[in-house]
C-alpha cells in the first residue's frame, strides 16, 4: 500500500509526545510559547521539509511522475526532447507609389502581433511584398490570411497599411510537461524505431504544435505512407485542423511539396523515415456531426448545456480519427459521466461513419430540449 506521508500537524504532535514521554527527563508537559514548545515546532517543521524533499525525489525517480528538467532527462534517454517554442513566418504586401523599398529588419504590426521583415521587399508593379517572422516565438504569432498590417514607422513611398498575403504559420508554444510525458511514456513502451505506424505517429507528434497524428499505410499507393495531423492548440481557431496544402517534404522529388503546417511535418519526417518510403502529410477533412439531446427535464440549464458540449468535444478529440467510426456508446458514456438525472440523444441515432478515408467526424451543432 502507498506510504502515508505524515502531515505537519502529525509531526508536531509526535515531537510533543516524544518530549513529554521521556524525551527530556523531568518534562511532563509543555507550555505554549515556552522554549521547549518552540523548539518542538521547529523540529517538526524541519522534518516536514525533509519529507517533502524525499517526496519530490521519489517523483523524479520515474518518468511517469517526473517534472521539468528531470522529465527532459528521462526523455533524452529515448531521444525524446521537449518541443521548444517556434516562431511563425509569413508574408505581407504593401502598396507603393514609387520604387520604395521595405528593408530587412523593419517592424510591422500585423493582426495585433509585432513581426519583423526577414529580407528586403520584392517589388512587382505597385506592390512590395516582404517575408516576415513574428518577433517572439509562440502560437500567438500565427496570423490569418488577409489580416491588416501596419508599419510601425512610416517609410517614404510606402502606404502605411498592408495585408497578410501568406498566412503566418509554424508558431507554437513550448511543450507542456503533460504532453511531453505522454510522448516519453509511449517511447518507453514501444522500444526502438523501425518504421512502424507508431514511429510515424511519434515523428509527427515531435513537431512543435502537433497534438495528434494517424497513419494510413499505402494510403496513396504502393510505397506510400499517408500521415494525418491535428494541431489542436495552435490551430484552435480552425478547430485544430492544419493550415496549408497536403503534400510531401520539400526535398522529396517524387511528389508535390506540401505547404504551411503540412510542410513542417513532412520535412521533419523526411529525415527519419525509411529511405524508400514516400511520406505524404495531409489534413483530415472535417465531417460535422450535429447532436440533439432531449429529455433533459430540469437539467436543461445553461451550465449543463455547456458541460454537455464540452463532454462531446472531449469525446471527439479522444476517439475520432480519419476514416474512423464513432459509436453511440461513446457519446452516451461521455454524457453519463456528467451526472445528469436523465437525457436522450435522439440524433444521431446510429454509429457515425466517416464518409471517406480522410474524413474525420467532429462535433457540429448541439440542440437541447427538456
**Which DSSP string corresponds to 75-100?**
HHTTT--PPPPB--EEEEEEEESSS-
Joined grid coordinates for residue 213: 497524428
Mean pLDDT of 134-148: 92
What is residue 165's predicted lDDT score, i.e. its pLDDT? 93
Mean pLDDT of 151-157: 91
Q: Is residue 2 part of a domain?
A: no
- Provide the pLDDT confidence category of residue 1 given band limits of 50, 70 and 90: low
Mean pLDDT of 95-105: 88
Distance CA 280, CA 215 (A): 10
Residue 81, pLDDT above cutoff 80 = yes
Residues 186 and 69 grouped into a single domain = yes
Q: Is residue 114 part of a domain?
A: yes
What is residue 28's predicted lDDT score, i.e. its pLDDT? 66
Residues 77 and 95 grouped into a single domain = no
Residues 248 and 234 grouped into a single domain = yes
Residues 185 and 73 grouped into a single domain = yes
Residues 44 and 124 grouped into a single domain = no
Q: Are 241 and 286 in contact (CB under 8 A)?
A: yes
Distance CA 218, CA 74 (A): 34
Mean pLDDT of 90-100: 89
Tens of pLDDT, residues 7-64: 999 898 888 887 777 666 766 677 777 888 888 889 999 999 999 999 999 999 999 9
Residues 132 and 100 grouped into a single domain = yes
Q: Is residue 1 part of a domain?
A: no
Residues 266 and 301 grouped into a single domain = no
Q: Is residue 221 part of a domain?
A: yes
Quick one: residue 170, left, alpha or beta (phi over 0 = left, psi -120 to 50 = alpha)? Answer: left
On average, the pLDDT of the chain sits at 91
Distance CA 119, CA 97 (A): 20
The enclosing H or E element of 301 equals none
Of 169, 201, 221, which closes a domain? 169
Residues 48 and 79 grouped into a single domain = no
Residue 296, pLDDT above cutoff 80 = yes
Q: Number of folded domains in the chain?
A: 5
What is residue 22's predicted lDDT score, i.e. its pLDDT? 67
What is residue 170's predicted lDDT score, i.e. its pLDDT? 84
Q: Are 255 and 225 in contact (CB under 8 A)?
A: no
Residues 149 and 229 grouped into a single domain = no
What is residue 16's predicted lDDT score, i.e. its pLDDT? 83
Q: Is residue 3 part of a domain?
A: no
Residue 282, pLDDT above cutoff 80 = yes
% of the chain residues with pLDDT over 90:
74
Q: Is residue 159 part of a domain?
A: yes
Joined grid coordinates for residue 67: 517534472
What is residue 245's predicted lDDT score, i.e. its pLDDT? 95
Alpha helices in 214-283 (DSSP H): 260-270
Its pTM surpasses 0.95: no
Domain holding 205, by residue range, is: 193-282
Of 266, 282, 298, which closes a domain? 282
Residues 47 and 74 grouped into a single domain = no
Of 226, 252, 282, which closes a domain? 282
What is residue 79's predicted lDDT score, i.e. its pLDDT? 87
CA 325-330-332 angle, 5° bins:
135
- Provide the pLDDT confidence category of residue 236 given band limits of 50, 70 and 90: confident
Q: Is residue 139 part of a domain?
A: yes
Q: Is 369 helix (H, G, I), strand (E, B) or coil?
A: coil
Residue 149 DSSP label:
E
Residues 326 and 270 grouped into a single domain = no
Mean pLDDT of 311-316: 95
Between helices 177-190 and 197-205, what is the axis angle to 10°?
160
Residues 308 and 264 grouped into a single domain = no
Q: Are 225 and 277 in contact (CB under 8 A)?
A: yes
Amino acid at each position: 500500500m502507498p506510504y502515508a506521508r505524515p502531515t505537519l500537524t502529525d509531526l508536531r504532535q509526535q515531537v510533543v509526545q516524544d518530549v513529554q514521554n521521556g524525551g527530556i527527563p523531568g518534562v511532563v508537559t509543555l507550555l505554549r510559547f515556552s522554549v521547549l514548545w518552540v523548539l518542538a515546532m521547529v523540529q517538526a517543521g524541519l522534518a516536514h521539509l525533509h519529507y517533502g524533499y524525499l517526496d519530490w525525489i521519489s517523483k523524479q525517480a520515474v518518468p511517469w511522475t517526473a517534472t521539468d528538467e528531470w522529465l527532459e532527462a528521462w526523455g533524452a534517454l529515448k531521444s525524446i526532447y521537449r518541443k521548444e517554442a517556434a516562431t511563425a513566418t509569413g508574408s505581407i504586401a504593401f502598396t507603393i507609389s514609387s520604387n520604395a523599398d521595405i528593408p530587412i529588419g523593419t517592424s510591422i504590426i500585423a493582426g495585433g502581433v509585432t513581426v519583423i521583415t526577414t529580407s528586403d521587399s520584392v517589388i512587382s508593379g505597385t506592390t512590395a511584398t516582404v517575408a516576415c517572422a513574428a518577433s517572439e516565438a509562440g502560437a500567438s504569432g500565427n496570423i490569418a490570411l488577409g489580416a491588416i498590417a501596419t508599419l510601425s514607422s512610416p517609410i517614404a513611398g510606402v502606404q502605411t497599411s498592408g495585408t497578410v498575403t501568406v498566412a503566418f504559420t509554424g508558431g507554437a508554444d513550448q511543450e507542456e510537461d503533460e504532453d511531453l510525458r505522454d510522448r516519453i511514456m509511449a517511447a518507453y513502451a514501444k522500444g526502438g524505431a523501425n518504421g512502424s505506424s507508431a514511429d510515424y505517429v511519434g515523428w509527427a507528434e515531435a513537431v512543435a504544435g502537433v497534438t495528434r497524428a494517424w497513419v494510413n499505410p499505402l494510403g496513396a499507393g504502393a510505397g506510400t505512407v499517408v500521415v494525418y495531423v491535428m494541431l489542436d492548440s495552435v490551430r484552435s481557431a480552425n478547430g485544430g485542423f492544419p493550415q496549408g496544402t497536403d503534400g510531401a517534404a520539400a526535398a522529396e522529388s517524387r511528389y508535390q511539396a506540401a505547404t504551411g503546417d503540412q510542410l513542417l511535418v513532412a520535412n521533419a519526417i523526411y529525415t527519419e523515415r525509411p529511405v524508400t518510403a514516400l511520406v505524404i502529410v495531409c489534413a483530415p477533412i472535417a465531417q460535422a456531426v450535429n447532436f440533439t439531446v432531449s429529455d433533459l427535464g430540469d437539467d436543461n440549464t445553461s451550465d449543463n448545456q455547456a458541460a454537455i458540449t464540452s463532454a462531446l468535444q472531449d469525446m471527439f478529440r479522444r476517439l475520432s480519427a480519419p476514416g474512423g467510426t464513432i459509436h453511440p456508446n461513446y457519446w452516451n458514456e461521455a454524457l453519463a459521466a456528467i451526472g445528469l438525472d436523465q437525457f436522450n440523444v435522439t440524433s444521431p441515432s446510429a454509429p457515425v461513419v466517416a464518409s471517406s478515408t480522410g474524413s474525420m467526424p467532429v462535433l457540429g451543432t448541439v440542440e437541447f430540449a427538456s
